[in-house]
Structure 1
Amino acid sequence: MKKYGILIFLIVFLFSTIPLNAFKYAVVVSASTYSDPSWGAVVDSLENKYSPDVQVFQWTSSIYNVKTDLENYQPDYIGFICQPVSEANEVFIRTAYIMTRELDSDPYGDAVWGIITGYNADDVIRSLQCSLSVMTTVSSSPTANPTNSPYRQFYQAIGTFEAEGGPHIKYSFSDGTILDTLDTLNLYTDRTVTFARWLNAESININLNGHPSFSGSFDMFVTSGHANVNEWQAHYPDPDPEGYFRSLDGQLRADTYDSGAIYINSNNPKVYLCPGNCLIGKPDNINYMVYAWFHTGGAIQMLAYMPVTWYGYQGWGAYSRFISFPGLFNVAESNYVTNQCLLFDLENHTPGVDTYGLAYDRDAVAIYGDPAQYAKMYEYPDTCWYYSQELVHIDADVDTFIFTIEANIDSVAPGTSKHPFALLPVRIDPASINVESTNAIIPVITDNFVLLYCWNNQMQKLAKGETRYVRWTATQVGVEEEIIAVNPDRIMLKITSANPFNNYLEINYEIPNHRFINLSIFDISGREVRNLVSGQVSPGNYHITWNGDDFQGSHVLPGKYFVVFKTEDQVLTEEIIKIK
């Protein structure tokens, strides 16, 4: 029997500390790799990291050996542990795309996944131990925060100009200001020298008169332009007058234009995204770039094309999803979300897309690193997405879900690779899905995600404040009777007065230790109508009375509401009903 309860799961709150539900993680590894002591330690590391919600699946001749077991397990994340070259190769990665779409009957992917590999097992274990909030981004092209405030992507970023090279640079400072300038004091004519020195220094420290200081660790590198399996050409379209980044036997180096080689040995964890480079994600030889970036470049997550790229939907779409919603998705999740958008557009011939290009891109991008790893854009205090999104989940015998987006700026185009998308906090039975209402063109709801098709290039863009939504009901799958154990850190919430209530509501809550808490009232749409407590609280049992007023001091209308009590790691919710 399912334990009845109410849970509101809100993605929209940019500063919310409500955690995702516990997820299921599958480690897929060959029997031979598992039996190797060094790579077996990688498996052990993942098991320790995600215990108890992790299971190991061993294959012998093909990953299809474990397909049926994965279908039954229904993982949210799959980490494919691969030894370099012999297992981590383009054929294997394309097969992983195909198989993870075949774990149920719909045409979409069924789990977020990534290829966990490195020059050696030590590289992998190091990367698994890291987490990262990307605060400082460096790009080979003129990356910068948009000027249409309040939408902002980067905490701070340096964008350079691949068609010019040299000291032309665009700074996005941490206060939101932008400077497009020639900086001959901090940049070399050959940017490979600049990039290599920043990587080896582990951090960037630049002071410009009259502007905020630019200081921070080198967290993310973004490249585009010409590349090959073992090199990236800094200048575009012709190489002169700049050099190359190259790889050989796990070593990353800068072959500068006229200053010789600079060997790169960087230890700080970083994300490496190559959405505009050909071939650089191909892993079929130990001398290729993938292994050098994980061995001496400090990468913990990498996204790159394996073949020649010309269409760019998957690579640039995943990049855009990652940077445009700071704190929402990690790199592997961004790649997964974009791939589902691609599959939708390919299936439905969305106006404005090239179906041949979509088919080419479908399985072309490799994602390296632990797919569940915390490696996200830094969610700074004034973060603002260009559209907000909210997923309300009311957990009952038949669950209700409401997914809503709202444009934060004018001229929002939430389509193609930017279709609004949310991972569901629970698995649902597709046969039980009942769409109650929507103003989207097509809502796509599967067992693990929702996608809103609400715009294409033949439609007017959304104005600031416009919303699109879908509301549906469904039943959860795989829910077993819950056995509640004694937990010394468990918080408590109880309604102690009559419910339904008229004039006031008495609420008791208990916390076992010092922690930050938030106690609020939400309406049925997931909107916060009143905050009762927010701050650091000492251990104890507390009592509070709510008189039914909202933030403006007006009495709320009769109807159903929710008391939501949350800490950094727990959420409790009680349904309440206001009567006249």
Structure 2
Amino acid sequence: MRLIPLLMTVFTVSAWQVGAADYAVVVSEGTAGEAGWGKVVAALAEKHGATVMKWKGSVDEVLPGLSGEHPRFTCFVATPAEAGRDFVNGVHRMTRKLDKDPWLDTRWGILTGLTAEDAMRSVTEREGLVIRKVGSGTELAMDRIESGTWYCELRQGHMVSKASGGEAAEGKAPGDTTAALVGLMNEGRPDLWVTSGHATERDWMLGFRYRNGFWKSAAGRLYGEDTKGRTFDVKSPNPKVYLPIGNCLMGHIDGPDAMALAYMHSAGVRQMIGYVEPTWYGYMGWGMLDYFVEQPGRYTLSEAFTANSLALLHRLGMACPEALAVEKYDGMGQTKEKLSLTAAGKAAGLKPMDINGLLFDRDMVAFYGDPAWEARMAEGKCNFRQELTEKDGVYKLTVTPLAGEASWRAVNKNGSQRGGRPVVAFLPKRIDAGTVKVTSGGDRGVVVADDFVLVPLPGEGAEVAPFSVVFSAKAAAK
């Protein structure tokens, strides 16, 4: 029996282990046949006891196999030439089609790198990562972080630091933070790196509202270039995860000079997210702070990405159910179909633009890395506790407020589309969703799928009191 500590989701059920039926490796025949990449596939399959599925012309060819296996984790091994925007879009859409419901059906990641050796470093990581030190180029909720430093992209000269066991304190930053940020990455050895602001596949602009330097990339090299033209190489090999939550195009791999590849090659990044198009709405990016950083210890990075995806789908379905089936839209989420807000969407304060924004964000953020590798924030302050128990096929999810009147509020409002994310708890074993019977709490708009339960968070001003959802279900056949 495994009891996860107080501020995390608690499962009073048997621990779940990765097995052959729970992990699939998907790879093209060509990539599997390359010596270096073939070794990556073999090592990954051996590590997780995984099923290997190969495709020839399109990754969609493996959909029948994935539907049959319904693995909890799916890792798409891809070379940089394969891992472009269309590939990311296709993986998003395919991984919602393993069954007939509209939800994400497997926790996925794309394992790539400038070289096969870069990808192999992720495979050979045997230990998980507990994030105790954070470095950032944008504001973070420091009360949720053990230690770290952020430099402000909006206010020149502003920074905030926090030592382990201490309190966050404001400080005076240099007007040009290029060298300081490179030093924070190289000497500071952060476990998590967070950025926002203007970016392309080749650079990150450090100042959003003021003149500052850049970080740039070329053939795996990652370096800073300040306003005087001086350069500073990033060399930070310690394993870390990266959240470019508000950056355009940081997840788009359009060739060997892509920033994402440079982070993997020169900065020790083992997992990261990133937009593959210019971002303008922000739900999938900024929501990673809501689930991962601001609920410290509750989710792995892979789980937080999945939870945020489920939250987006839930919100889109509430606002405009027919939008869930739409796959073609332009860079502003505009479609040929006429999409209208539901009464529930209007009551929630949404506008027609929100349909477009949610639709756009749904398939435009990549997750890179082995999805089963566990990177998790060190335990810390949470606004509420969530506990999931199971006995004889009866599940109970209890949510207990811990922050008084602030329990249901956004932790931090830096960015876009912040706060209001539903409670998401992952089930320890797959269930037959057709057998679900909600016996308590059904009036809360609960969603129970085959591997998760989702409950809308009470709105600001709602009663601050514990609540529970109870349901029964039979185990899935496989």
Write out per-residue CA displacement over residues 145-197 of structure 1, whole angstroms, 9 at most, x where no aligned residue: 2xxxxxx410112121112334x221223224121132xxxx54321101112
| Alignment TM-score, normalising by the size of structure 2 | 0.86
In structure 2, what is the Cα distance between the partners aligned to 1:191 and 1:38? 38
Tell me if the contact between 1:414 and 1:455 (Cα under 8 Å) persists in the aligned partners: no
Counterparts of 1:112 and 1:49, CA distance in 2: 17
Q: How many angstroms apart in 1 are the aligned matches of 2:283 and 2:58?
A: 29
Structure with larger RCO (C-alpha < 8 A, sep 6+): 2
Q: Which has the higher helix share?
A: 2
Residue 122 (structure 1) shift: 0.3
- Confirm whether residue 74 of structure 1 aligns to residue 36 of structure 2: no
Distance in 2 (alpha carbons) for counterparts of 1:142 and 1:275:
11
Judge conservation of contact 1:138–1:221 (CA < 8 Å) in 2: yes
The Cα shift of 1:14 comes to 4.2
Secondary structure of 2:74 counterpart: strand
Q: Deviations over 1:305-332 (max 9, x none)?
A: 1111111111111232111222222222
Report the counterpart of residue 441 of structure 2 in structure 1: 438
Letter in 2 for 1:106: D
Deviation per CA, 1:543-562: give whole Å up to 9, x if none: xxxxxxxxxxxxxxxxxxxx
1:228 alignment counterpart: 200
Q: Is the 8 A contact 1:83 1:117 kept in 2?
A: yes
Query: 1:203-238 deviations in whole A, cap 9, x for unaligned?
Result: x3xxxxxxxxxxxx3211111111111100001134
Unpaired runs of 5+ in structure 2? Answer: 320-344, 411-418
Q: 8 Å contact 1:226–1:237 — kept in the other structure?
A: no
Name 2:80's counterpart in structure 1.
Answer: 84
Offset, 1:243: 0.9
Cα distance between partner residues in 2 of 1:170 and 1:260: 25
What do the CA deviations read for 1:395-448 (whole angstroms, capped 9, x no partner)? Answer: x3xx11111111111233379762000111111111111111116521100111
The 1:33/1:181 distance shift into structure 2, 3 A limit, reads same
> 1:126 corresponds to which residue?
121
Q: Name the amino acid aligned to 1:48.
A: E
Report matched runs for 1:28-427 at 5 Å. Answer: 28-51=26-49, 54-85=50-81, 87-130=82-125, 131-145=128-142, 152-166=143-157, 168-182=158-172, 187-201=173-187, 204=188, 217-238=189-210, 240=211, 242-258=212-228, 260-349=230-319, 350=345, 351-353=348-350, 354-379=354-379, 383-394=380-391, 396=392, 399-409=393-403, 410-413=405-408, 418-427=421-430
Would the aligned equivalents of 2:446 and 2:453 in 1 still touch at CA under 8 Å? yes
Assess, with a 3 A threshold, how the Cα gap between structure 1 residues 329 and 108 changes in structure 2: closer, same or farther: same
Secondary structure of 1:26's counterpart equals strand
> What is the 5 A alignment of 1:508-523?
none
Tell me the amino acid that sits aligned with residue 196 of structure 2: S
Percent identity, please: 31
What whole-Å deviation, never above 9, does each CA across 1:271-311 have from its counterpart, x for those lacking one? 11111111111112211101111011211111111111111
Cα distance between partner residues in 2 of 1:71 and 1:392: 28
- Mapping for residues 488-567 of structure 1, pairs under 5 Å: none
Match of 2:322 in 1: none
CA gap of 1:417–1:339, structure 2 versus 1, over 3 A, is farther
Distance 2:123 2:349 in 1: 40
CA contact (8 A) 2:2 2:15 kept: no
Shift of the alpha carbon at 1:89?
Answer: 0.5
Q: Which runs of 4+ in 1 moved over 6 A?
A: 7-11, 15-19
Q: State the one-letter code of the partner of 2:390.
A: H
Return closer, same or farther for 1:199/1:411 CA change in 2, 3 Å cut-off: closer
Deviates more, 1:279-288 or 1:71-80: 279-288
Whole-Å Cα distance in 1 between the matches of residues 5 and 386 of structure 2? 6
1:58 and 1:128, CA in 2 relative to 1: closer, same or farther beyond 3 A?
A: same
Q: Secondary structure at the match of 1:311?
A: coil
Amino acid corresponding to residue 39 of structure 1 in structure 2 = W
Q: CA deviation at 1:268?
A: 0.8
Code of the residue aligned with 1:78 in structure 2: it is T
Partner Cα separation in structure 1 for residue 151 and residue 133 of structure 2: 14
Once the two structures are TM-superposed, the CA of residue 98 in structure 1 deviates from its matched residue by: 0.4
Q: Distance in 2 between matches of 1:224 and 1:12?
A: 31
Residue 49 of structure 1: how far off its partner (Å): 1.7
Pairwise CA distance, 1:137: 0.6
SS at match of 1:346: helix
Instruction: Show structure 1 runs of 5+ residues with no match.
Output: 1-6, 146-151, 205-216, 480-580
**SS of residue paired to 1:189:** coil
**Which has more radius of gyration?**
1
The answer to whether the Cα contact below 8 Å between 2:432 and 2:477 also exists between their aligned partners in 1 is: no
Distance 1:38 1:341, change over 3 A: same
Query: Could you tell me whether the CA contact under 8 Å between 2:89 and 2:364 is conserved in 1?
Result: yes
